[in-house]
Amino acid sequence: MNIHLNSQQLIQNAIDAYQLLDQSLKACSEQGIDRLEVFDRHFYEPHEILTELLLEFKNFLESQYSSPEEKQNAGYLLEKIAILSFGSLKGYNNLKAYQSMSAQYDLLISGNSPEWESLFSILRIDDLPKGILLEAKATNGKINDSQFSRLCSLIDHNFSKSVGLGIFFSINSLSGLPEEREQRLRKASDGYLKQIIFYCKTKIPIIVLDKEDILQLDKPGSLIKILDRKIRELEEMTGTKIEPIQSKVIDIPPKFNDVLKWLE
């Protein structure tokens, strides 16, 4: 009997929640507000410092840096932008970087809050583990097959139960991706082919944010729009549980302490 009553209450709660959501969406429509825009802006409100960092990043790109020191600085700047932009997402509990002989990545962000769950639902990957694994690449070339395979392997062997989205945060895009003039050919090769195969095998999208995407990240809602678009593109091409955390955990190298202060 209690089970029946609990089930009825759950159903009623779901109906009440749906009605409240429906009323909110209608209110947005009546006021001429894009309801998707409202959600995007809620889940991603970039820190004001990002504008300054992106201007610095743009200057780096225009300077055509070539020396080892300049490349190192570009990589450091790219990591700062990645931490600050993904650290501006709502609802995460855990933000950390890690390096060892067996596994290296620049950022792992995860959570179990209702907002974080909702974010994964908006991106249509809510049936996957609620973690994002990011690798920043400040190299001159495109992400090649070898580099893409390494991230696939890292997710497959080290994070299969905790990561549901992989991201390359890179100056350039993925190798094998058709150029604009080649779109009709639907050609896939190199890293792009690996991306498609991995997604078909695991249903875990690994996407690439290149310089054009990164330069938009100081706009409210922009990161959500970019992630959604990239995942949709992968879905169209293919046709096709993290442990609870009670408090927010930040585990980032000391060299990024200035970035973490902005997130406080």
N-term to C-term CA, the chain: 48
CB hemisphere CA count around 20 (13 angstroms): 6
Angle, in degrees to the nearest 10, between helices 190-202 and 145-158 = 20
Residue type, 124: R
Tokens of 122: 């908006």
The predicted-structure confidence for 87-141, as pLDDT tens digits, reads as follows 999 999 999 887 654 455 679 999 999 889 989 988 889 888 999 999 988 877 8
The predicted-structure confidence for 158-196, as pLDDT tens digits, reads as follows 898 999 999 999 988 776 555 554 444 444 556 678 888
Asked whether 214 and 172 are in contact (CB, 8 A), the reply is no
Residue type, 161: K
Tokens of 247: 């408090």
Report the C-alpha gap between 82 and 86 in whole angstroms: 6
Asked whether 217 and 49 are in contact (CB, 8 A), the reply is no
Q: What is the pTM of this model?
A: 0.76
State how far Cα 64 lies from the chain centre.
Answer: 27
| Residue 7: exposure state from Cβ atoms within 10 A (0-12, 13-18, ≥19) | exposed
